[in-house]
Amino acid sequence: MERTDTTVIFDLDGTIYQNTVFHRDYIHALVSDTPYVRWEQDLIALTEEIFSGKHLRMNHFYTAAPTGAKTVDELASRLAGQLRPDLTYRQGLQAEDVIYLGDAWAVLALLGSAMGCLDQKRSDEVYHETRLCMERAGMLHGNPRLRASILALQQRCRVLLMSNSYQQTVEEFLRQLDYGDIFPTICYSARKPGGMVESLRRTDPSILCHPEKLISIGDHAFNDLMPIAELGGKTVWMNPYPKIETPVCDRSLATLDELASYLDTL
């Protein structure tokens, strides 16, 4: 195929690799040395019911605030009452008290906030402990077919990776995934969603000259898709949870092999 002027933007977590069990390590770290230690297994069960569409509504905003719940069942009930169904993308960018349930990390952050045990310091600690557990357990596995498709895509489109994670974290993940050489341009600490467009502008202002030529691929609709959709670009949603609500997107894919097949068509 001939080279086009399309720019394909990839997210990292949940997009170029998928891990549907890391929440167990996150919850273990979250409740350690807190009064909620005995909640661990019930919280894991609740999280998996959210992923299966039985509790809460993923791809919607929720107020992030302590609930004062005394049990996990009460926690789930009170969280259901914190749904903000009418909040728009623009309103969500301005709101300081909400979380968009766009991926597993967001679900876990909402639970921690609702329990009142996830201030910024502890949030960072739990996040880094979970990342370390993922690395130690060898949970990061690249997909050879996807790797080949992204390398081939570079011959036809501009390809870049954009992540909210720090450079060291991104580079280590890419190394473990054997993806270290497949992204010629990487935007670290992108501050998506609000900072996504500015990150693209800093990378190369010409990228934004033809927003209809942008394709953003990610698992978190608020962070990865809505900023590009607002510009007029195309969006591809990665989703391993078949029973949750679907956000507005141009295409939905479930697996890395499906993503590789899609890229081969560009």
Rounded mean pLDDT of 251-266? Answer: 98
Helix, strand and coil in the chain, % to nearest 5: 45, 15, 40
Please list, in sequence order, all residues whose beta carbon lies within 8 angstroms of the beta carbon of residue 29, skipping any fewer than 6 positions away.
125, 126, 129, 130, 133
How many angstroms separate the CA atoms of 185 and 154, rounded?
11
pLDDT higher than threshold 70 for residue 2? no
Domains in the chain and their CATH numbers?
7-18+141-263 (3.40.50.1000), 23-136 (no CATH)
Under 8 Å between Cβ of 254 and 263: no
Question: Per-residue pLDDT for 71 more than 80?
Answer: yes
Structure letter (DSSP) for residue 58: S
Kindly state the average pLDDT of the residues 199-208: 95
Each residue of 26-70: pLDDT tens digit?
Answer: 999 999 999 999 999 999 999 999 999 999 999 999 999 999 999
Mean pLDDT of 218-234: 98
State the average pLDDT over residues 80-98.
96
CB 258 within 8 A of CB 35: no
Contacts of 257 (CB under 8 A, 6+ apart): 143, 145, 146
The residue type found at 228 is I
Note the pLDDT tens digit of each residue in 115-172.
999 888 889 899 989 988 887 777 678 999 999 999 999 999 999 999 999 899 899 8
Query: pLDDT band at residue 264, thresholds of 50, 70 and 90?
Result: very high
Locate 9 and state its tokens: 């933007």
Residue 3 confidence (pLDDT) above 80:
no
Residue 1 has pLDDT above 70, yes or no: no
Mean of the pLDDT values across residues 83-105?
A: 96
| Sign of the dihedral through C-alpha 93, 100, 243, 162 | positive
Residues above pLDDT 70, as percent of the chain: 98
For the cut 70, the answer to whether the pLDDT of residue 216 exceeds it is yes
Cβ distance 173 to 193 under 8 Å?
A: no
* Cβ(30)–Cβ(37) below 8 Å: no
| pTM for this entry | 0.95
